[in-house]
Amino acid sequence: MKIDILTLFPEMFSGVTGSSIIKNAIEKGLVNVDATDFRPFSTHRQGHVDDYPYGGGAGMLLMAQPLFDAVAHLKAEGVKPRVILLDPAGVPYTQKLAEELAQEEQLIMICGHYEGYDERIREHLVTDEISIGDYILTGGEVGAMAIMDSVVRLLPGALGNDQSAVTDSFSTGLLEHPHYTRPADFRGLTVPDVLMSGHHANIERWRHEESLRRTASRRPDMLDVYPLSDADLTFLKAEVLYDPNKKEQ
């Protein structure tokens, strides 16, 4: 996979690409990541990439020309990349979208600054507009880092155990169950007996029910779309955790 990031601050990405899972994936040849300053693509005599909006208003807008030319320069031959605009008005980012993006050959992410973008960038350049949350950041760099991290860890071979990505929260449709490690008794706080039993079927049942319990408690909205079995419904109703007939819990 090739990931290109268009930014006015490429130095921000050196720590992310030089650490942890992303660093390992780069060294294994699973992904190639480049952060490119798009200011040199400006044809403005002073190298400006922003300008005042027509009709007036506060702030400056990123101009179309530098970004159109930068994207054209980065497109790999024979590949149709996903060109992602990081923007608060984009669709909310989800694990499902991360899994979709992980199948692509090339991602180009545009990190904005200032008040916004020339609308022609949205209409004629990008394939996706993505928001990582309902809040405003100084620029799109943090969002690009989050997307890059979530996508790279899904690439086969990026994690020490590929099964880890499959069982993560959101990947299964539920929040992940609790985990414990040694010692079994820490200051009187003990590990549930079922995890010490060696009975794999009981352990899997406990983990699934704890995922249901945690999801119902923290993110009941996820259960509205999760394919609950009859056994799941019986458990949730017995625990008074979830009523599928109620839209709000």
Binding residues for S-adenosyl-L-methionine: 112, 132-137
Strand pairing class (2-7; 106-111): parallel
**Residues 122, 127, 130, CA angle at the centre, nearest 5°?**
75
- Calpha distance 31→21 (Å, rounded): 11
The answer to whether residues 139 and 90 touch, using CB atoms and an 8 Å cutoff, is no
The structure tokens listed for 201 are 């079927």
Residue 81: HSE in the Cβ half-sphere, 13 Å Cα cutoff: 22
Task: Detail the residues annotated as belonging to a binding site.
Answer: 112, 132-137
d(CA 33, CA 111): 15
Place of tokens 């490119």: 36
Distance CA 107, CA 35 (A): 12
Catalytic residues: 88, 115, 153, 168
